[in-house]
Structure 1
Amino acid sequence: MKKFTKLAVAAVSGAWLAMMTTASFAESTMEKIVRTGEMTIAVQTQGPPVSFIDKDGKRTGLAVELAQMMADDMGVTLIVQDYDWKGLIPSLLSGKADFIAADMTPTAKRSMQVVFTEPVFYSETIAFAMKDSGYTSWKDLNVAGISVGATQASSWADIARDKISNAELKEFAGGTAQTVQALTSGRINAGVSDKATIAGFMSSIEGLVVLDGDISREPLGFAVRPDSTHLLFALDNYMGLIRADGRLDEKLEYWWNTTNWEADHK
């Protein structure tokens, strides 16, 4: 009996040692970036001013430029992969991307799948409609018979579902551009997005207006896989560095707080 116990203990100890040895040799995301000299990000296909293709066919935007700046300072090549909003987290978890560079809210539900950086910037969630709609405030939309659109699987959809619960929510894949298109074609009465994103559409779509009042203010950050601890610390550290030297504020002023980027990219 004692001999059997010793053998069992030895077997368990051996299995544990093997598991720990295997784990210790598993390549981390940062080690993979260093080895390959490439850092891959997942971005939303068309989500100006965070990520989009500009008039010259160039991929750009706030998140793209921040990631590019970090890659340049690291001395690695940035690889950008496009996804619909609902495809961002699956692309990360499947290993296709090293991190998500998007205006993503760190909700409790998403945090069950991925790990978020400290907030990189903040977003005011607003409602928008056509000027002749008769609506003045986002609260006017909280009525049965009104249809409100938002990006599929986004925090905007969650906020609309919570704050404008009496209206019918319609979700659209592909980002805010599809929601705006649904509005201008008369398929919905209003939409929900963030103030900076809608500012980019207002200059090109006559009659598009932001309704009074912020529905909410959300922190936004980048996301990594739960096992990418080194990369998470590196991202937080880098955002702290460029916040201190002024480069982050410069990017936010150009891309997020104003529409200055339109003159160069639309």
Structure 2
Amino acid sequence: MNFFKTLVAGAATFVAAHTATFAPANADTVQEIVNRGVLNVAVQTQGPPFSFVDKHGERTGFAVEVVKLIAQDMGVEIEFQDYEWKGLIPSLLAEKVDFIAADMTPTPQRALQLVFTEPFYYSDVVAYVAGGSEAATWQDLNTEGVKIGVPQASSHVKFVRDNMPNATVVELSGGSPAVAQALSVGRVNAGVTSREIATQFTTEFEGVRVLDGTIVQSPLSFPVRPTDTHLESWLNNWFRIKKADRTIERMLDYWVHTDAWEVDHK
């Protein structure tokens, strides 16, 4: 009996001494943001209407202005960190930022590493070509020898491979603007991006036009780290409130559904 008591006492001492070692971390990113007084957000300067630098030299766009409102409701300052598209997810996983504010699709592959908020918008993914192209619809691009440019590491890579398997995918660093530039100099025959961004390219690059048809509809969300359940919940709650009071609707009308933003920013 004495041996048994000694064994139990020893086990209790071991557990007490090592509880801190084996206990899971309980860090709350929301509280950390509030305590430091700064919200760190990863963005990409991909061009209007989601994230760009306007004529005043200020970063703006739909995603950027959403984050500014989020920071305001948190009562903190905001710091944007600009990355190439392929650097967005690594920056989040390395804890350099609190979340990513970009028009990112919550694909099953990305969801293996990240947790996504509820979609705040569904965007049409389309193809666009230069003036010399004879293509009328995106299906016309599904031909051997046709080179379709897409941002490196974007969900558009899969969209093209799944829906236009006969074409060749060309991944380009620098986001959608780099693809449009490659199209303008003949490096690729077409580009694929959201309808909103493609429409902007028709005004920035002579002869560029959007082909008929929607390749896919892509939900857009903000990702956080899998352990940041409070932050995920807070953001989802924020989006629900701002949809209910029509804030998101008004912002989409200004930035995405119309060209109203051009007077103030272009």
TM-score (norm 2): 0.93
The match for 2:19 is: 17
The match for 2:127 is: 127
Conserved 8 A contact 2:49-2:196 = yes
The match for 1:246 is: 246
Deviation per CA, 1:123-167: give whole Å up to 9, x if none.
100000013200001001111111000000001111011111111
Q: Following the alignment from structure 2 to structure 1, what is the Cα–Cα distance between the partners of residues 255 and 10?
A: 62
The match for 1:99 is: 99
The match for 1:164 is: 164
The match for 2:31 is: 31
The match for 1:195 is: 195
The match for 2:183 is: 183
Question: By how many angstroms is 1:2 displaced?
Answer: 5.9
Question: By how many angstroms is 1:264 displaced?
Answer: 2.0
RMSD: 1.9
Distance 1:139 1:15, change over 3 A: farther
Conserved 8 A contact 1:63-1:102 = yes
Q: SS of the residue aligned with 1:118?
A: coil
Structure 2: gaps of 5 or more residues: none
The match for 1:53 is: 53
Q: SS of the residue aligned with 1:96?
A: coil
Deviation per CA, 1:4-41: give whole Å up to 9, x if none.
964784476346622465624xx321111111111111
Question: By how many angstroms is 1:55 displaced?
Answer: 1.3
Q: Following the alignment from structure 1 to structure 2, what is the Cα–Cα distance between the partners of residues 16 and 188?
A: 60
Question: By how many angstroms is 1:204 displaced?
Answer: 2.1
Distance 1:57 1:4, change over 3 A: same
Q: Following the alignment from structure 2 to structure 1, what is the Cα–Cα distance between the partners of residues 262 and 207?
A: 18
Aligned residue type for 1:63: A
Q: SS of the residue aligned with 1:119?
A: coil
Conserved 8 A contact 2:34-2:74 = no
Q: Following the alignment from structure 1 to structure 2, what is the Cα–Cα distance between the partners of residues 113 and 16?
A: 30
Distance 1:112 1:22, change over 3 A: closer
Aligned residue type for 1:207: G
Deviates more, 1:220-229 or 1:255-264: 255-264
The match for 1:218 is: 218
TM-score (norm 1): 0.93
